[in-house]
């Protein structure tokens, strides 16, 4: 069984890679663009990543004996809820659009850049704060 934190970190790499790819795809001519498939792939990766955190990461913080750990987990969980709402709305709005429209759509590009910024920041704080807290304080040794 793969280490949870390792798996989440690998998924972070994949999520950021896909976001960057999507940005690159918006700059291509529509015949060459893999924008829509990449959007759908990102959505899938993101949804599964959130499920993994909800099912395996946050519950450990909720069950922790330490109030600081409870708070930390709760804060991260609530913030993630807000971020995922925005991201999922983004997919709902755009993943079924015609690629020729998306490539010219400034609102799409603006939102995409906003999401990239938020996700990168989130990944960074998870890896700096949340994951070490999980590993240092909460991992139940078998």
As a whole number of angstroms, the longest Cα–Cα distance in the chain is: 56
The model carries a pTM of: 0.90
Q: Which SS3 state, helix, strand or coil, does residue 27 take?
A: coil
Sign of CA dihedral 100, 106, 111, 113: positive
The string of pLDDT tens digits covering residues 31-88 is: 888 999 999 999 999 999 999 999 999 999 999 999 999 999 999 999 999 999 999 9
Under a CB-based contact definition with an 8 Å cutoff, are residues 47 and 63 in contact?
no
């Amino acid at each position: 069984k793969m280490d949870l934190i390792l798996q989440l970190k690998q998924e972070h790499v994949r999520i950021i890679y896909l976001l960057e790819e999507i940005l690159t795809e918006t700059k291509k001519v529509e015949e060459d663009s893999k924008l829509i498939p990449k959007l759908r792939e990102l959505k899938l990766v993101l949804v599964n990543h959130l499920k993994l955190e909800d099912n395996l990461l946050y519950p450990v913080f909720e069950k922790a004996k330490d109030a600081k750990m409870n708070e930390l987990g709760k804060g991260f969980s609530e913030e993630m809820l807000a971020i995922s709402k925005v991201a999922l709305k983004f997919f709902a709005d755009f993943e079924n659009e015609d690629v020729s429209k998306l490539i010219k759509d400034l609102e799409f590009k603006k939102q995409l850049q906003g999401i990239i910024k938020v996700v990168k920041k989130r990944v960074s704080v998870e890896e700096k704060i949340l994951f070490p807290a999980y590993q240092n304080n909460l991992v139940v040794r078998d």
